[in-house]
Homo-oligomer: A and B are copies of this chain.
Amino acid sequence: MGSNLNFKIEKKLPGRLGRVGVLETPHGKIETPAFIVVGTKATVKALSPEDVQTLGAQAVLSNTYHLYLEPGDELVKNAGGLHKFMNWSGPTFTDSGGFQVFSLGVAMEEKANKFGAKKQETVNENICKEEGNTKLSKIDEDGVTFRSHIDGTSHRFTPERSMEIQHNLGADIIFAFDECTSPLASREYQIEAMKRTHRWAKRSLDRHNELGGPQSLFGIVQGGRFEDLRKESAKEISSLLFDGFGIGGSFDKEDVYKALVWVNEILPENKPRHFLGIGAVEDLFGGIENGVDTFDCVAPTRMARNGALLTKEGRMNIMNAKYKTDFTPIEGDCECYTCKNYTRAYLAHLFRTEELFAYRLSSIHNLYFVVNLVKKIRQSILDDKFFEFKEQFLNRYNSIKN
């Protein structure tokens, strides 16, 4: 069967696995590398689709687990699919639901803390539960039984069910159902989980093909922190007829780039690669250098709602008293809507008074920052200036933050 994606590589980064490309989906092109903004529940938190488009985002990733529970995948299907339901006409992704099913404890924490976690950690840190079993989810060969973080009701995902749900949601790019393990899991457990993920990959692909339609399916490489397992997983997943690939799992910081090299040397060059749930500034450079085409991460919007603003000099906490009387924009040379029209003093006022507009203005700035940083990295590769740009940017970013 032919893919509904057309992926063209325009330029490669010399001596590395990085590349610049264009990914064509049924809902438009994505110039890669690209940061995909997260719209968990069919809305990018605090933003309209027009805000998302204006800040330069090319695609939105929604979460299958959340949409399955609220408002339900059948309802989204009846609404005409995710695009129509949320009024976003560009490319969309949905994840497989696996990640959330294995990290329900965190989901409950999110629920309790409506405007996002207090700790501004990247999502991939400390989320996956050890050994695959938590009090709220139970795994077996066929699938996972879990309890809703909303009302405690029991539900079951299998690879087939994940495909059916994602077909109902109707995103352009969907993911095979996988098991996400902790970076602290034992080698024995990583092997067991990886092999199950491989069996589930085949079942996902079979059910996806039976269902037919215009969606494209990405297989997910797992294997934890072990070089041999990562390579085995990349080989196994590469051997299946996926339209692209996701690189999953949670990583200790130092392992990330090594793991990308192990995996991306094996994955077929002509298919797109998505790095699941990763998007810290350092990781964007490292990910792109080592062959990642697309990223998604909730950190920029979650940080924004907590008043942590991204700048070229590191994070700015808008609640710091000095910003109350600072009549300059977050960044003087930033072209985002927020920086062009509002001061730090106004943002400080909105955050202190808990005005809803605070979360929109801060989210616009942080997403613009990340989306456009990836665009600049892309351009630096086209201009043969990637390494200079990386050094210059990260020196400035880290110097003042630390």
Stretch at the interface among A20-28, A98-106, A181-189, A346-354: A346-354
Q: Does A402 contact B (CB under 8 A)?
A: no
User: Which of B71, B85, B345, B354 is A75 in contact with, Cβ under 8 Å?
Assistant: B345
Residues 55-109 of A contacting B (Cβ, < 8 Å):
70-71, 75, 78-80, 85-87
Closest CB-CB distance, A335 to chain B, in whole Å? 16
- Which residues from B are CB-within-8-Å of A42? 346, 349
- Which residues from B are CB-within-8-Å of A41? 349, 353, 355
Q: Do A357 and B325 have beta carbons less than 8 Å apart?
A: no
Residues 309-346 of A contacting B (Cβ, < 8 Å):
324-325, 327, 341-343, 345-346
- Which residues from B are CB-within-8-Å of A357? 43, 45-48
Q: Does A241 contact B (CB under 8 A)?
A: no
User: Which of B46, B79, B348 is A343 in contact with, Cβ under 8 Å?
Assistant: B79
A342-B87, A349-B41 given as contacts; is B75 within 8 A of A324 (CB)?
yes
Q: Do A45 and B353 have beta carbons less than 8 Å apart?
A: no
How big is chain A's contact interface, by range? 35 or more
Q: Do B85 and A346 have beta carbons less than 8 Å apart?
A: yes
Q: Does A360 contact B (CB under 8 A)?
A: yes
A79-B343, A79-B345, A345-B75 given as contacts; is B87 within 8 A of A45 (CB)?
no
Q: Does A9 contact B (CB under 8 A)?
A: no
Q: Do A45 and B355 have beta carbons less than 8 Å apart?
A: yes
Q: What is the count of identical protomers in the complex?
A: 2
User: Which of B45, B47, B87, B346 is A86 in contact with, Cβ under 8 Å?
Assistant: B346
Q: Does A253 contact B (CB under 8 A)?
A: no
Q: Does A114 contact B (CB under 8 A)?
A: yes
Q: Does A240 contact B (CB under 8 A)?
A: no
- Which residues from B are CB-within-8-Å of A78? 325, 327
Closest CB-CB distance, A151 to chain B, in whole Å? 12
Q: What separation, in Å, do the CA atoms of A387 and B76 have in the docked complex?
A: 45
Q: Do A354 and B114 have beta carbons less than 8 Å apart?
A: yes
Q: Does A356 contact B (CB under 8 A)?
A: yes
Q: Do B43 and A355 have beta carbons less than 8 Å apart?
A: yes
- Which residues from B are CB-within-8-Å of A45? 355-357
User: Which residue of chain B is the closest to A42 with respect to CB atoms?
Assistant: B349
Q: Do B71 and A345 have beta carbons less than 8 Å apart?
A: yes
Q: What separation, in Å, do the CA atoms of A80 and B75 have in the docked complex?
A: 49
- Which residues from B are CB-within-8-Å of A87? 341-342, 346
Q: Does A285 contact B (CB under 8 A)?
A: no
A75-B345, A345-B75 given as contacts; is B359 within 8 A of A356 (CB)?
yes
- Which residues from B are CB-within-8-Å of A355? 41, 43, 45
Q: What separation, in Å, do the CA atoms of A39 and B353 have in the docked complex?
A: 13
User: Which residue of chain B is the closest to A355 with respect to CB atoms?
Assistant: B43
- Which residues from B are CB-within-8-Å of A354? 114
Give 5 A-B contacts (CB < 8 Å), ordered by A residue. A48-B357, A78-B325, A80-B327, A85-B343, A360-B360
Across the A-B interface, give the 3 residue pairs with the lowest CB-CB distance, nearest first: A71-B349, A46-B356, A87-B341
Q: Which residues of A contact B (CB under 8 A)?
A: 41-43, 45-48, 70-71, 75, 78-80, 85-87, 114, 324-325, 327, 341-343, 345-346, 348-350, 352-357, 359-360
